[in-house]
Structure 1
């Protein structure tokens, strides 16, 4: 099956999952190279994510020092049919700090306000809040056991998407 056909099939499912969640898990890297896990409310932009973070938050500091990060959007435990195979999409992202007076800041702010309400406008007026554009580099969409898709390239669906067919194996086969 071609990348375009796969994207046409799973793309709407990824969009539905992204639209159903208002925050994601955000993994960044500290100054000393340690991983740091947190979460952030997000908005979807033009093939990217926007987040508004206080500069006193560890993840905001990390993104300014090392713009490489990962985000995870995942189905709630309570609604999952199987805890070990929750519906999820993860992305490797490159973070870009936006200038407050830029058109991109205004666009990101509008997306965040539309998704999260007026509180975002209030937070954006505080001097310690920074806006980042998180640009996907690659990702993975998991629908369940044996139903995983990897994508590469820019955008929320990447430029190429493939069904990962060589997944689970019995222990004896994996150790051979």
Structure 2
């Protein structure tokens, strides 16, 4: 399963964006996407405006679901796009408070390295906030009969899922 671990970590690290599923104050589901960065602990970071509906949901919710998915134009078969889905805890990273301030600066530098000068413009705007998503557990799907659960504190406990029973093998 070490090969699967390496594949899902590389898949996540190579991604430029992530889909975000949350629930609004009326308990209606919402989905959006955001450019993202991923750190060595597999924490996912986004930088988003509070003017968007999804940010209000993120500020109110503790858990969200995230999905990294293979681009349609790169997949061999549309029904088996490679995808990685995580249930995550959500934390807001403040610009000016203690450790959070140091983390903010570090992650802004990483966003800038990945996405360029647009980041300096975005962080100069007061409405842009940073969020950190900490994965709890997940699923990595590579194709028919190639689905795996991801669990454990280090997200390194990988189990194959049997499609005939829906259970781990």
Q: TM-score of the superposition, structure 2-length normalised?
A: 0.88
Native 8 Å contact 2:5 2:156 kept in 1: no
Q: Aligned pair 1:153/2:152, yes or no?
A: yes
Residue 110 of structure 1: how far off its partner (Å): 1.6
**Which residue is 2:163 aligned to?**
167
**CA–CA separation in structure 1 for the residues paired with 2:37 and 2:118:** 14
Task: Spell out, residue by residue over 1:48-91, the C-alpha distance to the aligned partner (whole angstroms, 9 max, x if none).
Answer: 01100100111111011012101111111112111111111111
Residue 154 of structure 1: how far off its partner (Å): 4.0
**CA–CA separation in structure 1 for the residues paired with 2:88 and 2:121:** 27
Root-mean-square deviation over aligned CA pairs: 1.5
Native 8 Å contact 1:92 1:137 kept in 2: yes
**CA–CA separation in structure 1 for the residues paired with 2:164 and 2:112:** 42
Task: Spell out, residue by residue over 1:23-59, the C-alpha distance to the aligned partner (whole angstroms, 9 max, x if none).
Answer: 1111111012111010000001232011001001111
Q: Which moved more, 1:112-121 or 1:135-144?
A: 112-121
**CA–CA separation in structure 1 for the residues paired with 2:29 and 2:137:** 19
Native 8 Å contact 1:45 1:111 kept in 2: no
Residue 167 of structure 1: how far off its partner (Å): 1.0
**Which residue is 1:3 aligned to?**
none
Task: Spell out, residue by residue over 1:119-143, the C-alpha distance to the aligned partner (whole angstroms, 9 max, x if none).
Answer: 1121011100000011111111001
**CA–CA separation in structure 1 for the residues paired with 2:106 and 2:141:** 30
Q: Which has the larger radius of gyration?
A: 1
Q: TM-score of the superposition, structure 1-length normalised?
A: 0.85
**CA–CA separation in structure 1 for the residues paired with 2:137 and 2:24:** 21
